[in-house]
Structure 1
Amino acid sequence: MAYINAFLTHFRAVQEWGRSTQASIELDVMNFEMEVKCRGRYYHLFPQFVGAINGRFFNMPALTPDTGGFIGWLPYRLVKYELARDKLYFKTFVREAGLLTPASWDLAAESPSPNRDYILKRSMGSFGYELAGPFRAGTAPPKGRLATGNGTVFAEQFIRGRSLKVWYWGQRAFFAHLREPSEVLADGSSTVHALVDQRLKSGHNADLETYKERHVVQDCLAFQDLALADVPKKGTSVLVDYRYGREYRPAASSLQSDNEMALIPAPAMQAIEAAGSRFAAKLLENMPAPVAYSLDGVIDEEGQVWWLEANSNPAFPPEGYAAMFGDLFGG
């Protein structure tokens, strides 16, 4: 996300569009709000920031001492809606729209042992928090996990594959991340603990003992019948984390675009376009104009896209300004 969070990448994208259209653009450095005039139209754009409080990330509408990154300008302030707020509501919508989403189980009303591999989630949450697992099919959910948080705890089928995150303006998909799950490769002599610790130090400047999300690593190891002290056979790939944004590696250059739309196979692109069409139409039932959003999913080994959740206020990639301004100002 370093590329998206860099102020300079946003300045360049807005500047390039402004020059190409002879737009008038003014920035108020006191609040970072922007005024854009072009083709007889005028829009006021509001900044979005991201910051960490007590180790957890949050979207912020203003620059504060807790701010850690800038995530774009939009012609509206932060928005909220049920499709992005509640994962269970989102899953119902996806099914009714004829799209794929992993199976889920109501732990309070159904069998306590899902018949497929699964993870535990809370229906409200973001940034990869409020998750536990994966756990094997037929095993009862561990007691006490996800004891605090917002929304309902439910079990969701665990589908192994590549993490997919797609950004949209209205129904148009313009940016994507397609990421492999985080794994370490056994060398035949190092313990799992040493392998994971090395990856954490290189990617997060942390170690396994103090890593705040250590429980996910431990769940992944237990899912593979591994312990931290084990020495796997050389060449064995060990799953460390399945969540988006946990690559356990140093971030790429902040000035280099990491748009991976070109890497997405054609069948998956069809699913991405179908999801954008249905999601945008649903939002327009209660909103007067298109908005930016992102959808999270998994592409399985067969190339199918399974949708997991929506984000109403995602970091806005610089590539999105052309789509947004084109819609706002025409052309």
Structure 2
Amino acid sequence: MNYMRNAWYAAAWLEEIDDKPLARTFLEEPVVLFRDTSGVLVALADRCPHRFAPLSQGKIVGDAIQCPYHGLRFDGQGSCVYNYHGPVPKAAKVPSYPLMERYGLAWIWMGNPELADEDKLPDLGSFTTDSDYAFAHGYLPVTGNYQLVVDNLLDLTHGQFLHTAFGSPDSTKFETKWEGTTVHANYRFDGEVIAPAVQPFWESESETCDRWADMRWEAPSNLYLEVGVKECGDSREGAILFPATHFLTPENGTNTHYFWMLARNRRVDDDAITQLVWQITDNAFRNEDEPMIAMVQERMAGEDFDDLKPIFLTTDRAAGRARQILKKLIDEESSGAASEQKAKSEKALASAK
């Protein structure tokens, strides 16, 4: 399967990575994550170049990871720095990957390391540094292709059927737009009954509210959502806000790493409410979204999404556009890589003559 490689992908919550190896697969490549003695994040290919044992089954020794099979040790750049059996072979090296920290996550760059610019990750969570918000976050492995999860997030009309705790509107107003490689899907739910998930934060005697949910997708698979709730007919100023981020990293063609974060601007010092928010959100993703996406993946029976000729509804426009943009970006990246490889081959051939 083709992926957009020159991009930042969420790899792990920072608290998941310590001085013990963490094994994860990204874009079909096994990776081991750990911190060295200075706390610096390290990401290496999870395969020893000697007999191909998984380095993640070894242990951290100083600033290096030790292979569990024959004891070779590799530093943060992937160079072998110790061989119990004799001199270090010159070819003893494993690929390393650029990492950065943002939004409480470690981000990995799976493509050309020379292109790994931290500014290439869009602003997807400025609220994370705002003391007016409280946060809950989680991780979920999804049995489904990452683009199916993007589809699910860009079409929020499934919410009234899968997520009744978040509201059951009688009507939905939808609009979509795109700018460059960014896609917006904006929803309005006017005059709906106060949803169970909103009730702990609703201080009015009104039994109905206006709600909006504005989703923004950034290639390849990172999304920002702002949900707001207010009195019917009022302006948005002073509304109850629930900003959220959804970071999706493909493990392979049928599995996805799902990292989510949900904030709120009400009752921010209430730890019990934070736990309740976590439980409600985790339940929605783990027990409602994920099983549905897994069933969709199963029913596709290995067929390509477009080959199955899915019908499109009006609210599929955002997801459809995101798929088109991503395909174009992947094709352009593949074409560029092929041209670069051809140029290198021609240069090598010329030098050999």
**Fold match by TM threshold 0.5:** no
TM-score, normalised via structure 2 length: 0.28
Highest relative contact order (Cα 8 Å, sep 6+), 1 or 2? Answer: 1
TM-score, normalised via structure 1 length: 0.29
